[in-house]
C-alpha cells in the first residue's frame, strides 16, 4: 500500500507543483516532489484501523491465539489508546503538511509537538517508567523524550533515504525486543511501520524521486518514540540486568549524536537550532567526496553497528553491557574523527 500510494502522490505532487526546490539549506541541484508523508501517514492509518476492526469483528480461534500469545481481550480493552495514538499522529501529520506548504516557525511546531506528546503520554501507557513511580514526572519525561526523537528524525531528514532508512533499522531492532518480551501487538506495529517505510524508500532512496517532508518526518519520529516507550524491557531484566532499558539510546546513538552535535554547533555559531543548514554529519561526509548513496549507506552501517549490539543488551552480563556501550562510543568517536578531519581540511584550504 505504501509503495502504491507513494507512487500516486509523487505523480500528483509533480503535476500541482508541490515540490522541494534547491536551496542553501539542502544539498541538491534539482526539484523533487514533496508529499511522501501523505503516503506514509495514510498507509499507517489505514492498516492500523483495519487491523483494529478486524480483531474486533473476527473471532480468533483459541488454539491460534494461545500459540501466538495473542490476548484479544487485552487489545480490545485498549482500543481507546489506539484512537489517541492515531489522533496524535494526525495532529503531527497536519502540522508537518502545513509546514511543508507555509514554512511555520519553530515555536508553533514545538507547541504542537509537545501537545501531542503530552496527550499520548497522559492518556495512554506510552510512558517511560525507568523505575520512577510518580506519574506526573513520567509523563513529563516521556513528553520530552517524544519531542526529542521527533526532532532527531526531522533533523535526520537532510539527505535522500536517510531518515526513513535509519527508522527502518531502529524499528526492526525494536521488533526483536518486542518479540523477546512477548509483545505481539507492539511487534506487529513495528513490522507494519518498517513495511510502510520500505515502500516509501523505493522512491526515496538516492536519487530520490520524492521527499517525505515534515509531514512524514514528524510522523516517523513520533512512531519511533512510541515504539521505544511501548516496548517492554523489564521482562528482559528479571535477572537484574536493568541496563536493558537503555536499548533505545544505543540503537539511536547515531541519530541522537547528529541532532545534539548539530544543535550545539548552531547555538555556538549564534544561529537558531531549528534553522536548516548543511552541517549535518551526512553533509560532512558528502563534502569529503562521498556520493549520496555512499553517504547514506555509511550511516546505515553505523546505525546497524550500534543496533546489533543493542539487541544483545538484555542477554549479557555487566561486562558485556560495558563492552556494548564502549562499542557505541567508538562508533560515535569515528564520526567525530570524520568531522574533525573535515574541519582541518577546511582550515588548510
* Averages of pLDDT over each 10 residues, the chain, 349 residues: 96 91 62 93 94 76 66 75 93 95 89 95 79 81 93 90 94 88 85 96 93 94 92 54 75 88 82 72 74 88 88 78 88 77 48
Q: What is the pLDDT of residue 60?
A: 65
Q: Nearest to residue 281, comparing CAs of 255, 250, 305?
A: 255
Phi, psi of 267 (to 5 degrees): -65, -45
* In the chain, alpha helices (H): 2-16, 36-57, 62-68, 72-76, 79-102, 106-123, 135-156, 162-180, 184-204, 213-230, 247-251, 253-268, 281-287, 292-311, 318-348
Taking the model in full, what pTM does it have? 0.87
- Three-state DSSP state, 44: helix
**Domain residues for 313?**
2-348
Per-residue model confidence (pLDDT) at position 42: 96
Looking at residue 289, its pLDDT comes to 72
Burial of 282 (0-12, 13-18, 19+ CB in 10 A): buried
| Number of domains making up the chain | 1
- Do 44 and 51 meet the contact criterion of CB atoms below 8 Å apart? no
Please report the pLDDT score of residue 236 as a whole number: 44
pLDDT at 281: 72
First-to-last CA distance in the chain?
Answer: 49
CB-based contact 116:222 (threshold 8 Å): yes
- Which pLDDT does position 104 carry in this prediction? 86
Find out whether 213 and 20 touch, Cβ atoms under 8 Å. Answer: yes
**Pairwise CA distance, residues 10 & 36, whole Å:** 7
Amino acid at each position: 500500500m505504501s509503495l502504491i500510494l507513494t507512487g500516486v502522490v509523487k505523480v500528483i505532487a509533480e503535476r500541482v507543483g508541490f515540490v522541494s526546490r534547491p536551496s542553501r539549506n539542502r544539498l541538491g541541484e534539482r526539484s523533487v516532489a514533496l508529499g511522501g508523508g501523505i503516503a506514509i501517514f495514510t498507509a499507517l492509518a489505514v492498516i492500523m484501523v483495519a487491523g483494529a476492526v478486524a480483531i474486533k469483528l473476527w473471532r480468533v480461534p483459541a488454539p491460534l491465539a494461545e500459540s501466538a500469545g495473542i490476548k484479544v481481550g487485552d487489545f480490545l480493552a485498549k482500543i481507546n489508546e489506539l484512537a489517541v495514538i492515531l489522533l496524535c499522529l494526525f495532529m503531527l501529520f497536519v502540522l508537518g503538511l502545513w509546514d511543508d506548504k507555509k514554512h511555520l516557525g519553530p515555536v508553533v511546531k514545538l507547541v504542537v509537538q509537545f501537545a501531542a506528546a503530552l496527550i499520548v503520554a497522559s492518556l495512554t501507557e506510552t510512558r517511560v517508567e525507568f523505575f520512577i513511580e510518580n506519574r506526573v514526572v513520567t509523563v513529563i519525561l516521556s513528553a520530552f523524550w517524544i519531542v526529542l526523537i521527533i526532532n532527531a528524525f526531522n533533523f535526520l531528514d537532510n539527505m535522500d533515504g536517510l531518515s526513513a532508512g535509519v527508522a527502518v533499522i531502529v524499528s526492526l531492532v525494536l521488533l526483536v525486543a518486542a518479540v523477546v518480551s512477548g509483545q505481539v501487538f507492539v511487534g506487529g506495529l513495528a513490522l507494519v511501520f518498517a513495511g510502510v517505510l520500505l515502500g516509501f524508500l523505493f522512491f526515496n532512496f538516492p536519487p530520490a524521486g520524492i521527499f517525505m517532508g515534515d509531514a512524514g518526518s514528524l510522523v516517523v519520529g513520533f512512531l519511533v518514540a512510541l515504539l521505544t516507550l511501548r516496548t517492554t524491557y523489564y521482562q528482559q531484566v528479571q535477572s537484574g540486568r536493568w541496563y536493558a532499558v537503555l536499548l533505545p539510546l544505543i540503537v539511536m546513538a547515531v541519530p541522537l549524536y547528529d541532532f545534539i552535535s548539530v544543535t550545539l554547533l548552531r547555538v555556538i555559531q549564534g544561529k537558531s537550532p531549528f534553522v536548516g543548514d548543511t552541517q549535518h554529519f551526512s553533509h560532512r561526509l558528502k563534502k569529503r567526496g562521498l556520493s549520496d548513496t555512499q553517504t547514506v549507506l555509511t550511516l546505515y552501517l553505523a546505525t546497524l553497528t550500534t543496533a546489533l549490539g543493542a539487541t544483545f543488551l538484555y542477554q549479557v552480563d555487566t561486562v558485556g553491557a560495558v563492552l556494548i556501550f564502549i562499542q557505541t562510543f567508538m562508533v560515535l568517536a569515528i564520526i567525530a574523527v570524520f568531522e574533525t578531519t573535515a574541519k582541518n581540511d577546511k582550515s588548510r584550504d
